[in-house]
Amino acid sequence: MKIGIVKDILEANDMIAEGNRRLFKGKGTLVMNLMSSPGAGKTTLLEKSISALKDRVGIGVIEGDIQTELDAERIHKKGVEVVQINTGGACHLDATMVSQAIEKLDLTNIDILFIENVGNLVCPAEFRLGEDMKVMILSIAEGEDKPLKYPLMFHESQVLIINKIDLLPYCDCDIMRLRENSLKINPNLNIFEISCKTGRGLDVWYEWLIKKVGGRH
């Protein structure tokens, strides 16, 4: 019975997500669903990406949090459209929440829409939002075992960003093993190694995004 209820919830969500996807496609908007544990660096990566790219492409952001508008306020200061979603306790965004947020955005001027999901390594992977890609962000401090402990997140993602590589000398993390564990779960992952603090690797990420926008159009 419980399994059937969960299946019904996911199927209903997928129908709404498909409507979102068709809308995004019709507007030519590339949509990236950013997922990670709390503190991995989603918002900081967004700030860096917006600063580097907003003069080249139109950017919009949907911010998902359980409470507060702190992250949305940070993004607003970067001069792009942002809509806050507070889930009020839910550990993930769903397609209905995103559908309602879309109504507050002018997608005509948005080439890339970033959806920053709630910090969680489990639930966000199960719910489609209508995105083109799920982007998993993992900080070095979390260790190389996370792909083995949370395989669904890595299996469902098209991109893995390994953040905070400036901490490698101070953390007991084998980055090669992290890559190997991730690719065992999903051999098709696009992997970027970056440091938002030092800027290392960010140019490669930016250029990849620009190419994806070009391919979308």
CB 175 within 8 A of CB 165: yes
Q: Determine the Cα–Cα distance for residues 86 and 189; give it in Å rounded to an integer.
A: 30
**Helix 2-27, helix 95-102: angle, nearest 10:** 30
Task: Extract the tokens encoding 51.
Answer: 């600063």
Residuewise pLDDT in 10s, the chain (217 residues): 344 555 677 899 999 999 999 999 999 999 999 999 999 999 999 999 999 999 999 999 999 998 888 999 999 999 999 999 999 888 999 999 999 999 999 999 999 999 999 999 999 999 999 999 999 999 999 999 999 999 999 999 999 999 999 999 999 999 999 999 999 999 999 999 999 999 999 999 999 999 999 866 5
Burial classification of residue 96, based on how many CB atoms lie within 10 Å of its CB (0-12 exposed, 13-18 middle, 19 or more buried): middle
Q: Determine the Cα–Cα distance for residues 191 and 165; give it in Å rounded to an integer.
A: 13
Fold of the domain built from segment(s) 2-216: Rossmann fold (3.40.50)
What integer pLDDT is reported at residue 2 of this predicted model? 45
Secondary element (H or E) of residue 162: strand 159-163
Q: Determine the Cα–Cα distance for residues 191 and 158; give it in Å rounded to an integer.
A: 9
